[in-house]
Copies of this chain bind each other. A is one copy, B any other.
Amino acid sequence: MGEKFRIAIAGASGYAGAELVRLAAAHPCFTITAVTSEKSAGQAVSSVFPSFKGIVDHQFEALAPEALTERADAIFLALPHTKSQDPVAICIKAGKPVVDLSADYRLKDVDIYEKWYHAPHGHPQLLRDAVYGLPELHRTAIAKSKLVASPGCYPTAAILQLAPLFAKGLARPETIVIDAKSGVSGAGRSPALSYHFPEAHESLEPYKIGQHRHTPEIEQELSGLMDDVGSVTVTFTPHLVPMNRGILSTAYCKLVQPMQLSDLRDLYREFYRGERFVRLYEDIVPNPRYIKGTNYCDVGVYMDSRAGWVVTVAAVDNLVKGAAGQAIQAMNLMLGIPEDTGLTAAGSYP
């Protein structure tokens, strides 16, 4: 296999971080050299996540970004929003490729970042260099970049299900409704009443209606596809559903002119031709249960011609294509290895 890249994962005691550890541990070109966690520093990874017993021998350590850059050839940061700004800058300064899973470098417009995240941005100049880490849209730029901001889980589904329509100028931007549903792991690993089992089970919770922070990412990318920044404003409603993993996003839009469903599907096929991680569905409808543990984004396009709406459905595993898997996909590109390395295993079913 040749020499392996030394990999550091910061913020690895959350679910996305643990998923990075899982995928990196099985990645044929990676060898993990450091995993950090503020709250679990000093503990064995396998005592926090017994699933790693016998597989991952590391201990969590506290984050020391400078030191980390010396022990790793490539760095994943899965830190909370706003906490990633400085560590990214330190890694970049050290010349190491970074995939940042937080929102800190996703939004090109610093004002929009500061408005939605209620925090100043300490490195606005780095935002210019950061690439939004959705390989299906930005493959070439990712491959050339040192700093990739990995997309949010909801935006991954929402952008991929709508991208072909926007790229071709077919969608009426003012008609976009995105109704998304996520498993509870999307809320992270910190206990709170909303995620307490008896509250979240036999429950279905819309939240942050019209106010979720993933909204501006979606708008940035869809606008970008139209070459018209700021031209798209979507309404986005996330819901918490009683399952562990998976996002299902149902997006509605009207077309600028009538189309046949078959033509629309041809257009999607063309747009995603050769994409390893986008699967297009017709008779079967995408469902999170088909993509558990995998890096796929499954997309289906349907038409309610009676009512005049296109309905697209996308499913991702929020922790893989919606987080850790996509981050590795981008890093593979940055490191010049095949894009799907370490990401080819089938999902378990059921």
Contact between chains at B285 and A202 (CB < 8 Å):
no
Known: A202-B202, A233-B307. A55 touches B350 (CB 8 A): no
Choose, from A74-82, A120-128, A143-151, A186-194, the stretch at the interface.
Answer: A186-194
Contact between chains at B193 and A197 (CB < 8 Å):
no
Cβ–Cβ < 8 Å partners of A276 in chain B: 54
Known: A302-B209, A348-B19. A199 touches B289 (CB 8 A): yes
Known: A51-B346, A303-B210. A204 touches B233 (CB 8 A): no
For the complex formed, measure the closest distance between the CB of A58 and the CB atoms of chain B, giving whole angstroms: 13
Question: Which A residues, 182 to 212, have Cβ-Cβ distances below 8 Å to chain B?
Answer: 183-185, 189-193, 195-207, 209-211
Does A311 have its Cβ within 8 Å of any Cβ on chain B?
yes
The contact sample of 9 A-B pairs, CB cut-off 8 A, is A22-B347, A52-B346, A181-B241, A201-B201, A202-B246, A204-B241, A204-B287, A237-B311, A293-B348
Binding site for B on A (CB under 8 A): 15, 18-19, 22, 25-26, 47, 49-56, 174-175, 177, 179, 181, 183-185, 189-193, 195-207, 209-211, 233-235, 237, 239, 241-246, 248, 250, 252, 276, 279, 281, 284-285, 287-294, 296, 298, 302-309, 311, 313, 315, 319, 344-350
